[in-house]
Amino acid sequence: MTSKPDSPDQKPSFIEAVRRAQITECAIECIAEIGYVNASLAKIAKRADISTGVISYHFASKDDLIRAVIAHVMDTAVAYIQPRIDWSNPRAALRSGIEAVVAYYAAHRDYSLALLKINLAGGAGTPTEPYDPEIQERRQRVMREILAQGQEDGSFRPFDIGVMVAAIFGAFDTVPRKVAADPPVDLPAYGRELAELFDRATRAD
């Protein structure tokens, strides 16, 4: 749905895939480092040591590239986080989920930083919406499920799920800035702190 071959889905051709991956990676680094605004195709190309035309050759537009970036980040995030969630009960799921996200952010600082910056750059035109609202939805879906389950089985108190999810992801968005902070932050501890924080914020009684 992203790329250029209009003859629907032939074969992405090995080198094509490699190039796209390389460009996507460089774009992520660029955005993380200098911001979404300043990450021009020229700068991304220079970082990849290719000509700008190459990017246009492999991606239909800058928007197409950005969507590839988002997709890549989301995919790796899901792959990393999903198996780390302990589904034995909602409280455990929440704690492990939060810690997994922080761990992922710690492991892929550029990825999460890039995603954050893209999401807040402004997007289509509507002032309040992030780059792609559907992306936000996908990000939050699992967390929403955990909270709903916990309220159902009585392990969580009756709070507004939308507010809680927003707060949790608001907290997540602070992580990238901490990753390379000086002095360095103990990220596993950061994750545990957040887990404790939201466990207390959500649990019954």
Partner DNA sequence: TATGAATGAGTATTCATTCAT
Partner DNA sequence: CATGAATGAATACTCATTCAT
Footprint of its own copies (CB under 8 A): 32-38, 113, 116-117, 120-123, 125, 127-130, 159-160, 162-164, 166-167, 169-174, 176-181, 185, 189-190, 193-194, 196-198, 200-201
> Whole-number minimum distance, CB 48 to its own copies, in Å?
13
Residue count, binding to DNA (CB under 7 A): 24
Q: Is residue 43 a contact residue for DNA (CB under 7 A)?
A: yes
User: What is the rounded CA–CA span in Å between residue 153 and residue 73?
Assistant: 33
Torsions phi, psi for 156 (to 5 deg): -110, 150
Sign of dihedral through CA atoms 76, 86, 175, 142?
A: positive
Give 139's Cβ-side CA count (13 Å radius): 23
Give the span between the Cα atoms of 35 and 37, in whole angstroms. 5
Only one of the segments 15-23, 85-93, 166-174, 184-192 lies at the binding site for DNA (rule: CB under 7 A); that segment is 15-23
Q: Is 42 a residue that touches DNA (CB under 7 A)? A: yes
If binding is defined by CB under 7 A, does position 56 make contact with DNA? yes
| 40 is a site residue for DNA (CB under 7 A) | yes
Comparing CB distances to DNA, the nearer of 27 and 85 is 27
Q: Of 187, 147, 185, whose CA–CA distance to 167 is shortest?
A: 147
Complex with its own copies: residue 79 or 120, whichever CB lies closer:
120
Q: How far is the CB of 50 from DNA (least distance, A)?
A: 4
> First and final CA of the chain: distance in angstroms?
47
Give residue for tokens 């990450």. Answer: 39
- HEC assignment per residue over 142-185: HHHHHHHHHHHCCCECCCCHHHHHHHHHHHHCCHHHHHCCCCCC
90 binds, among its own copies, DNA, none (CB under 5 to 8 A by kind): none
- By beta-carbon proximity to DNA, the closer residue of 37 and 148 is 37
> In the bound complex, what is the minimum distance in angstroms from residue 16's beta carbon to DNA?
4
Chain-centre distance of CA 151, in angstroms?
26
Q: Is 62 in the site for DNA (CB under 7 A)?
A: yes
Q: According to the binding rule CB under 7 A, does residue 61 interact with DNA?
A: yes
Distance (Å, whole) CA 139 – CA 104 = 13
Binding site for DNA (CB under 7 A): 13-16, 19, 38-43, 50-58, 60-63
